[in-house]
Structures are given as structure tokens and as C-alpha cells.
Amino acid sequence: DAKTTQPPSMDCAEGRAANLPCNHSTISGNEYVYWYRQIHSQGPQYIIHGLKNNETNEMASLIITEDRKSSTLILPHATLRDTAVYYCIVRPLTGNQFYFGTGTSLTVIP
Amino acid sequence: EAGVAQSPRYKIIEKRQSVAFWCNPISGHATLYWYQQILGQGPKLLIQFQNNGVVDDSQLPKDRFSAERLKGVDSTLKIQPAKLEDSAVYLCASSLVLAGGSQETQYFGPGTRLLVL
């Protein structure tokens, strides 16, 4: 079973920041937060992951709350190509428990 | 770096027929995964290989699904016989195994879209 809760859908204006929330209140100390996205008719694409600290890469930023019970994925300047389903996943450092859930369908509006 | 390759991209069969999907992971990735993604849902893990051994096949419907990775590189997933509810996208992913056994990020192929009529 998925250990995360995400809103089913969100809209964002092109050029604005997209903030996608995720609740993972039962996360344990050795579990990472991963974000993937899936553009229509493609396989899931890795975005970013983190354990405790906030992370940033060329695609996005990941903000994890101090109690680690929730996180936010930030796409700083959303483009039309960012329209996709975004999955928040918690997984342990070892093992394969990679439960995707149903994700958030993000639509970037021109 | 080449990504995960899958073929065919699309397949249409009638129920009770057999079908096979092929996956070539990223070079050097010891771990390979097969997922099933039904329309409107997230991917669900079917089976995980590490090299040519099965790590987890607890979610694989073994009465009709089988998978192998004989030489620890390519893998095939077979459905025999297919049912209507097997209509889905079948995704292959691969990852490195880091020191200590932890798994690196999973990288996915484009998937095979199966329609069972």
C-alpha cells in the first residue's frame, strides 16, 4: 500500500512556481522521499529524492518538514512540458518497497 | 547513456492468447523490475530481479505470469493465458546496487501497452 497522500489534481500558470504537496505521516527514520513524474504515454521519470534535508537539482526543489511527515516538490518556473502525473513515494534505503499511489495530475495552463 | 529499452511498444491480443515482453536495462544495472500500470493507477511492482535471481515476486500472479532474466541482463515477462484484466502498461525499470546493498534510483523504460480483447 502507498504510504503517501497527494491531491488528485492541481493547475499552475505557465511561468509560475508549482508547489506539489505530499503527506507521509507514517514515514520511518530510514525511509527516503522520492518524486517521479509520468508524462502521458511515457515511463515514470525520476525527479529528486531526499531523507531529511531540503534538496535541489536542475529540475526541482524538495522541501521536507522538520518532522518529515510531509514534503513539497517545487517546480520553480513551470512550463507546458511539466504537465504530468507527479508521484511522491517513500522507500527504505534497502529493499524494493516502491509504492506509487495515484499521484497528482498537474496541468500547466498557458 | 542509453536508457531502459522495451519492446514491443504496443500489443493487441485476444483473451486466452499468450504474449511476451522484452526489457534491456541500463548497462551495469544489476537490479531489474517489472511493473504493471492499469489505466488511472500508479505502477505496481510485479517482480524484482537482482542479477539473474528473483528478489521479490510476491505480487506476480504466478498462475499466468512468468518472468526470467537468465543471463542477468535482458529480461522477458510472459502472460499465458491472457485475461481481459491484464490490459495495462507493463513497465521495466533498472537500478544500480550500491555498497551495502542499498538500491539506487530506478530508471524506467517507455513501457509496453497491452490490450486484451
Question: In three state form, how does the secondary structure of B22-73 look?
Answer: EEECCCCCCEEEEEEECCCCCCEEEEEEECCEEEECCCCCCCCEEEECCCCC
Percent of chain A with pLDDT over 90: 75
> Is residue A97 scored above 70 in pLDDT?
no
**Chain A, nearest residue to B101 by Cα:** A94
- Whether A7 shows a pLDDT value over 80: the answer reads yes
Q: How many CB atoms lie within 10 A of CB A88?
A: 28
Per the CB < 8 A criterion, the answer to whether A94 and B102 are in contact is yes
Tally of CB atoms within 10 A around A81: 8
In three-state secondary structure terms, B99 is helix
Residue B61 touches partner A, C-beta closer than 8 Å: no
The answer to which of A16-30, B73-87, B91-105 has the lowest mean pLDDT is B91-105
Question: In Å, what is the CA distance from A88 to each residue of A8, A52, A62, A79, A96?
Answer: 12, 15, 11, 20, 15
Report yes or no: A44 at the B interface, CB cutoff 8 Å. Answer: yes
* B101 interface with A at CB cutoff 8 Å: yes
Across the range B7-32, mean pLDDT stands at 95
Buried/exposed code over B28-62 (b: 16+ C-beta within 10 A; e: otherwise): ebbbbbbbbbeeeebbbbbbbbbeeeeebbeebee
Q: Is the model's pLDDT at B84 over the cut of 60?
A: yes
Answer whether A44 sits within 8 Å of B101, measured CB to CB: no
Probe site for chain A from B35, B55, B103 (most A CB atoms < 10 A): B103
**In the predicted model, is pLDDT for residue A107 greater than 80?**
yes
pLDDT exceeds 80 at position B37: yes
CB contact under 8 A, A87 and B42: yes
Task: Find the helix or strand (DSSP H, E) in which B20 lies.
Answer: strand B19-24
| A42 touching B (Cβ < 8 Å) | yes
Q: How confident is the model at residue B22 (pLDDT cuts 50, 70, 90)?
A: very high
A53-82 average pLDDT score? 95
Q: Which three cell numbers stand for residue B60?
A: 506476480
pLDDT given for residue B71 in this prediction: 87
Predicted confidence (pLDDT) per residue in B40-71, tens digit: 999 999 999 988 899 889 999 999 999 999 88
A30 touches chain B (CB under 8 A): no
Q: Give yes or no for A46 touching B (CB within 8 A).
A: yes
- Average per-residue pLDDT in chain B? 92
Query: Which cell numbers hold the place of A1?
Result: 500500500
B105 closest CA partner among A39, A93, A61: A93
- Can you tell me the distance from the alpha carbon of B10 to that of B107, in angstroms, rounded to the nearest whole number? 20
The C-alpha of B43 sits at a distance from chain A's nearest C-alpha, in angstroms, of: 6
Q: Tell me the chain A residues in contact with residue B108 when contact means C-beta distances shorter than 8 Å.
A: 43-45
Of A41, A93, A100, the CB nearest to B102: A93
Flag whether residue A96 sits within 8 Å of chain B, measured between CB atoms.
Answer: yes
Question: Considering only B8-17, B56-65, B101-110, which range has the smallest mean pLDDT?
Answer: B101-110
Q: Who among A41, A87, A94 is closest to B103 (CB)?
A: A94
